Structure 1
Amino acid sequence: MKIHQWPYVRTRVPPELQKLIAREAAKNRRSINSETLVVLEKHYAEIKKTEEARLAGSSSVSE
């Protein structure tokens, strides 16, 4: 799917969080949108990794 076909999501964030995202985006030479996507992708990748580790641990216990 091309980027212009991605769903449009509008969200409200507290001013302090917006400033933090904007600072990190500038530091990383990204747009605020791109910085937000990177943070969300990292967050959900970590959740997936943790869940997979938990499942692998529970399957080895049942063997």
Structure 2
Amino acid sequence: MKELLCPKCGVKMEFMAEAETGNDGKTIKYFYRCPACGTKIIGSTIEIKKGENSSVLIKVMN
């Protein structure tokens, strides 16, 4: 994991993960957040959904 400085205030950003569950599956977002000003930079997003016949669909977006 690399060190990233906030583009707005120059403070070292924190690497975080956030998960949301909905009717059609789960979304996990990995991002950097500035503890001083709250600026977010999205790193990647993973969507996990149930398909037909109990199959699992995984989509990764960078």
- Shorter-chain TM-score: what band? under 0.3
Larger RCO, structures 1/2 (Cα 8 Å, 6+ apart): 2
TM-score, length-scaled by structure 1: 0.25
Q: Which has the larger helix fraction?
A: 1
Q: Which structure: larger Rg?
A: 1
TM-score, length-scaled by structure 2: 0.25
